[in-house]
Amino acid sequence: MNASAVVVAAGRGIRMGQTVNKVYLPIAGKPVLYYSLKVFNEIEWIKEIVVVVSKEEMEYCQENVIKKYYFQKAIKLVEGGDERQYSVYNGIMNTGEDCEIISIHDGARPLIDKKIVLKLLKEAYLHKAAAVGVPVKDTIKVVDEKNFITDTPDRKYLWAIQTPQVFERDLIIKAHKRAIEEGFLGTDDTVLVERIGYKVKMVEGDYRNIKITTPEDLIVAEAFLKK
């Protein structure tokens, strides 16, 4: 299998209350972004890694992450867009044309598991699209514009989506181009594939695969890493 990883690290993370991008904040002495790059670097099927960063942070990322830590695989830095979806598009369009499968991951999720990524790659190879997620633990309520409950979906059908999300290269490029043509902005990449008629295989992941969003998340992630 010839696969590429696109790691999105162009977000600002306003809720962190920091001036620096959250992917460069330290966990156990290393930046958040380091941990996901390390996992992709160790997977044989991943032939290249594309990291999408803001224009202002390209030099910082190169000096403080890419050069500072030893990664055997080629890592290409690509400029991000105004929205995550546009950043992902820039990333996937900069993968090699000989790539069969693309794994799209949020750089703010440092606790990805190598075994789960390998399973995702296999499922995407078989089904064209696969994503990792976990069954929701809480009862979910649907509310109206005045915050009155209107529905209670059956929890056994509800999953919280995570990343990586993995796709056949031609499929995810087609889905993104269709979204651009139609002016559609999705919350993740699976919805772009769904809307052009393809099913996405869900792979059960790990509740520890949290996204660093608030300062408390750094403490939780460090605790998981020390385990």
Q: What structural domains and CATH numbers belong to the chain?
A: 3-226 (3.90.550.10)
Strands 46-53 and 3-8: parallel
pTM of the model: 0.94
Question: What mean pLDDT, rounded, does the chain reach?
Answer: 94
Q: Is the pLDDT of residue 122 over 70?
A: yes
Percentage of the chain with pLDDT > 90?
91
Q: What is the pLDDT of residues 14-31, one digit of tens each?
A: 445 556 789 999 999 999
Percentage of the chain with pLDDT > 70?
96
Angle ∠(44,46,50) on CA atoms, nearest 5: 150
